Amino acid sequence: MANILSAEDVCKSYGEKVLVDHISFGIDEGERIGLIGINGTGKSSLLKIIAGVDSPDSGSITLASAARVHYLPQEPEFEQGANVLSAVFHGNTHEMQTIRDYEAALEQVNENPNDLGAQERLIRLQSRMDDLHAWEMEYEAKTILTRLGITDFQAVVGTLSGGQRKRIALARALIQPADLLILDEPTNHIDDESAAWLENYLAARKGALLMVTHDRYFLDRVANRIFELHQGRLYQYPGNYNAFLEAKLQRETEQAASEDKRQNFLRNELKWIQRGARARGTKQKARTERYYDVLNQNTAPTQESIDLSSVSSRLGKTVIELQDVSKGYNGPSLIDHFSYIVLRDDRIGIIGPNGMGKSTLLKLMAQQMTPDDGSVVVGSTVKIGYFSQEHEEMPLDMKVIDYIRDEAEYIETADGESITAAQMLERFLFPGHLQWTPISKLSGGEKRRLSLLKTIMSAPNVLLLDEPTNDLDIPTLSILESYLDDFAGSVIVVSHDRYFLDRVCEKIFAFEGHGVISVHFGNFSEYMSRQKENGAPSSTTQGNHADTRAKLPDKSAAGPVRGNDDQPEIPKPKKLKFSWSEQKEYETIDSDIANVEESLQLVSKKLEAAGSNYGLVQELYNEQQELEQKLNHLLERWTYLNELAEAIEKSQNK
């Protein structure tokens, strides 16, 4: 493969902060590279240097002869007053200029059909479009815009939302002929269907690709090489995101072993020096110098392992109960007669197009707003940790550590140990020097991470998270997911991050449009798979033209969902109750548990009697493992079914 770009010994700093420290790499034809690292490490700065928007302090970037580079920044800019199509066709090539002129002439003829001069100009431009084969480019641009949810091609860009403007800029980047396409957060502000389409588009695209994204499914399906930027160093890995995880683990294991050897060497040499060794001879002097050389070596930093299973306050039987809740804003209801009883171990993901009411539902649960109809009951033992989508106002002159200490000096873990605010900041990727930095010096992503940590430090027993993955880097997402694994309480999250939803959630609330919310068991991928099997559109693909009929939950739904009451053809929702299979399971689960426990006792006795018959011991051990797994599953189901039975009884008594 031919080389497109080479970087040699590149350095970049801002003040005392070193972002890039003597890094070198090359980019070849056909490579699709994902650049990852924690927020604030310099990923966007490196992209700007590669794109030629910024210059390195030292080192060089060499571009192959005649190679074309196009760069999509995080915050794109547009010409004042430009409409969607003229913004997309922004560029200095003959094709781009001709398409812009053609679209302007077409609009002029549409406004003044009797203008002969405009008609003649349009005819000339049509001929020019033929000569340049520009029709294909125009068709592709409109197709891409439609795929990204932009259908009003004449809308003035300045009147659109930030998310819509980012999608227009993405379309502009995709149609530009480029040997190297550089994308900074291309999946921000696009829904799941658009992200899936973009994956296929980029995977099939010719030319090299370099992108920064925190969407791990996207990285896994598009990238064939990973760059990791960490404390100024660039680590390079072949393969996709999953291959990177395996290779990084191996690298860190090797580094840990090397550091162990280094420490052993230092201990032995220190003892030799302390015994009074004199550096008079050449050998002794060389040995002493070697000790200090090894002592002063820059070693790769290691991440301190801290248990995040913090103790939350006791959570009673009543968590959050929504009874016949409706909510709207001077128009049709975003939420129409929705009922659900949150269980203590619920892990719920809320999905749907933007503007459908997902954040509103979370605010109702957090009691930050009241419903128009119905009621929201929050249990007396509930302590809610609410992480808002909006960036909270922070005291910019306050130091990072003081901001966290204002919430709590320390938290307790499940095993009774205490973790200080400083240790938690370290775990959330705020090293010691950054903890004493004023908040005003943090990047947007770092502020978001700090706000998340403050929510966790409050020791909640119910977490309501509104788009927690926005502006968070992959290492922070992994830390959050580990925390949620051990979190002893309910988690309800609004997110477009497919990987996060699969990793964390076991139920899905799908906003179907017109106030309808359907409830599904399983994670996001399982929900999407069922929708495809049933031939139904997923809620992530439905917008303002969603079907007006109410969507009843699937047979495993945990609560009733209702549509609009003024439509007589809509079937009335069923009250909260067991499905047929759950009822049968509830009736037999006690005896099922007893049978498995009896079988386990029998296997244990056989193991004791097996003696040195290793073949039999292995066979019995495998059987014991299977039975223990089965018992754990049955106990989890017993807890769920009994809590659901209590919730059903409570709803019937109201």
pLDDT tens figures, 334-369 = 999 999 999 988 999 999 887 789 999 999 999 999
Report the pLDDT averaged over residues 119-130. 89
Distance, in Å, from the CA atom of 383 to the CA atom of 391, rounded to the nearest integer, reads 21
Report the pLDDT averaged over residues 472-484. 88
Ranking 50-54, 243-247, 273-277, 320-324 by mean pLDDT, the lowest is 273-277
pLDDT of residue 305: 44
Pairing of strands 507-513, 3-14: unpaired
DSSP annotation of 549: S
Residue 271: which pLDDT band, with cuts at 50, 70 and 90? low
Distance, in Å, from the CA atom of 648 to the CA atom of 117, rounded to the nearest integer, reads 74
Instruction: Kindly report whether the global pTM for this prediction surpasses the value 0.75.
Output: no
pLDDT of residue 293: 64
With pLDDT > 70 as the criterion, what percentage of the chain qualifies? 83
For the chain, where do the domains classified as CATH 3.40.50.300 start and end?
A: 1-68+181-190+224-239, 318-533
Question: 75: closest CA among 373, 471, 432?
Answer: 471
Apex CA 554: angle with CA 551 and CA 556, to 5°? Answer: 145
The answer to whether 47 and 34 have CB atoms below 8 angstroms apart is no
Report the pLDDT averaged over residues 218-237. 93
pLDDT of residue 561: 40
For 156, half-sphere exposure in the C-beta direction (CA atoms, 13 angstrom radius) is 4
Residue 490: which pLDDT band, with cuts at 50, 70 and 90? very high
Q: Is the pLDDT of residue 114 over 90?
A: no
Q: Is the pLDDT of residue 277 over 60?
A: no
Q: What are phi and psi of 581, to 5 degrees?
A: -70, -35
Distance, in Å, from the CA atom of 309 to the CA atom of 280, rounded to the nearest integer, reads 55
Q: Is the pLDDT of residue 309 over 60?
A: no
Residue 544: which pLDDT band, with cuts at 50, 70 and 90? very low
pLDDT of residue 373: 94
For the chain, where do the domains classified as CATH 1.10.287 start and end?
A: 580-653
The answer to whether 504 and 481 have CB atoms below 8 angstroms apart is yes
Report the pLDDT averaged over residues 72-99. 86
* 468-43-524-490 Cα dihedral, nearest 10 degrees: -30
Helix, strand, or coil (residue 362)? helix
Distance, in Å, from the CA atom of 645 to the CA atom of 625, rounded to the nearest integer, reads 30
Question: 148: closest CA among 168, 162, 176?
Answer: 168
CATH class of 318-533: alpha beta
Q: CB atoms < 10 A from the CB of 561, how many? A: 24
Partnered with residue 606 across adjacent β-strands are none
pLDDT of residue 553: 39
Assigned fold of 1-68+181-190+224-239: Rossmann fold (3.40.50)
pLDDT of residue 534: 79
pLDDT one-digit tens code per residue, 170-187: 999 998 889 999 999 998
Cα R_g (the chain), whole angstroms:
30
The answer to whether 42 and 13 have CB atoms below 8 angstroms apart is no
The CATH classification of domain 580-653, taken from the options 1.10.10, 1.20.58, 2.60.120, 1.10.287 = 1.10.287
Question: 348: closest CA among 520, 228, 513?
Answer: 520
Ranking 105-109, 499-503, 553-557 by mean pLDDT, the lowest is 553-557
Pairing of strands 507-513, 347-351: parallel
Residue 626: which pLDDT band, with cuts at 50, 70 and 90? confident
